[in-house]
Structure 1
């Protein structure tokens, strides 16, 4: 039995060494993503407590800071980018709210339990869970995807969502909202991101099924499916250099989106503006028409 096959017998897969720069530091990017909220707040999350995973940078940072502007206290979970996480917490506090760090690998259920426990200990409640953390590893051929990479990608992108929802469930009551991050690749496919796009298909199915499971208790579950968004994920190893150079140019709008163009979709699904929506997916993708 070779090493790559043996990895599937492990309950937890450590970071792979194929793209050592992932998930990437936003502070190291020359062309910084636009994450600051674009409009004044209106108290749509006043008094609420939210968890945003992958909240150190990109879509997660934009969402966390927007939630803070709308009145929420926000806990951010991140893997290891302390510098980026500090910027996010500082921005949350500048909005007049409170923030909380949680560093760790959410593919480990114990890390998820610790995150929720920390939030409950600090604020005594949990109203919104945003499952945004993810990773991707480009491969031209399906035969290049190792068993280790395959399990790692599923562990980070979808297993973590199960673990966090399981940890959060006892604290979610009527009116709570869960918002998951899927992707346009779930709808249109991606020949170079086979394992990643497969996890996004799983996330969409999980969203619809979890909605059916929780709606009887007044808990809504929806998702956002971004198109190509300018975050650290792609330039820091999540896409080949030749694709990064022309990232987003294939959309009808001819450009990548910015994190602060996606965060409002998460806000809409997290607040009472979307009170008659559950099991649905929003598509901030630059005009790409998809089915579903």
Structure 2
């Protein structure tokens, strides 16, 4: 039986899924990808975006919000075909157009092909959202194998480089690159040392690439979410940890993907025309000063 403290800290029903990245349909409650009262304002009309890791979680919410704002969206995913099709359906229900592209962002040839398919389909590319990620908890540094270390860096940071390299031939003045980092870069995470390290690299990548591209009129920013309720959570952590997910932040709860996606809308739009090299922090009130 859970202790009184555990009961007070509980934010979600205890649950676990045995395979990453997990399935939304098995989550209780299911994540919120668009608030019922969201009011679109046409902020991305005429824009074409690529969203990696767009099949579920934060990526799905970004794709759906972009579609509501008028963008056409290429959804890049690894092999989660059912989830990706659902995201495409949500994009189309919002009045948008979707292109599904399956493959591994850790492969530079695939990244070039994903961008080429997007440009062939939609004629241009205006926004790149680097969001694909993986994480594998290990409480002891010595348990992080070379294979795990390489896989985490290959997806989480190499893929960001490869996608940006492929996109640059098509991005013009006014374009935006948005990278997904994490609060773990700022606060650390003893159980996710390799993952948090990649997120630190993403922050440095964002700031450095911003300096390189700013004279071309291309803005580069990032979003560093805190604990967000996505399929990756029950498929990563044991049930008892899922039950208190998000309890440690000042708001005492996990965030929903819809509460993060609006940051990407802002950074992709002309509303953020004077912002580059920065991070937004939808993290439930944690002050990280970064």
**TM-score normalised by structure 2 residue count:** 0.92
2 CA distance for matches of 1:77 and 1:23?
14
Distance in 1 separating the partners of 2:22 and 2:100: 18
Aligned to 2:4: none
Shift >3 Å, 4+ stretches: none
Deviation per CA, 1:187-218, whole angstroms, max 9, x where unpaired? 00000000000000000000000000000100
CA separation in 2, counterparts of 1:114 and 1:26? 28
Q: Distance in 1 between matches of 2:146 and 2:270?
A: 42
Q: CA deviation at 1:21?
A: 1.0
Alignment of 1:20-99 (within 5 A): 21-37=19-35, 38-99=37-98
1:152 Cα deviation (Å)?
A: 0.3
- Greater CA deviation, 180-189 or 240-249? 240-249
What aligned pairs does 1:257-272 form with structure 2 within 5 A after superposition?
257-272=255-270
1:286 and 2:263 matched: no
Count matched residues. Answer: 273
Shift of 1:55: 0.7
Shift in Å, 1:240: 3.4
Measured in 2, the distance between the counterparts of 1:144 and 1:20 equals 20
Q: Which runs of 5+ in 1 are unaligned?
A: 1-18
**Greater relative CO, 1 or 2 (CA 8 Å, sep 6+):** 2
Could you tell me how far 1:241 is from its partner in structure 2?
A: 3.0
Partner residue in 1 for 2:160: 161
Structure 2 residue runs of 5 or longer lacking an equivalent are: 1-16
Residue 217 of structure 1: aligned partner: 216
Matched ranges for 1:70-219 at <5 A: 70-219=69-218
SS in 1 for 2:168: helix
Q: SS of 2:177's equivalent?
A: strand
106-115 vs 21-30, which moves further: 21-30
Q: Distance in 2 between matches of 1:25 and 1:49?
A: 27
State the Cα RMSD in Å: 1.1
**TM-score, normalising length from structure 1?**
0.92
Q: Deviations over 1:21-71 (max 9, x none)?
A: 112222332321100244121110000000011111111001100000000
What is the CA–CA distance in structure 1 between the aligned matches of 2:25 and 2:76, rounded to whole Å? 17
8 Å CA contact retained: 1:253, 1:286:
yes
CA contact 1:138–1:240 (8 Å) conserved in 2? no
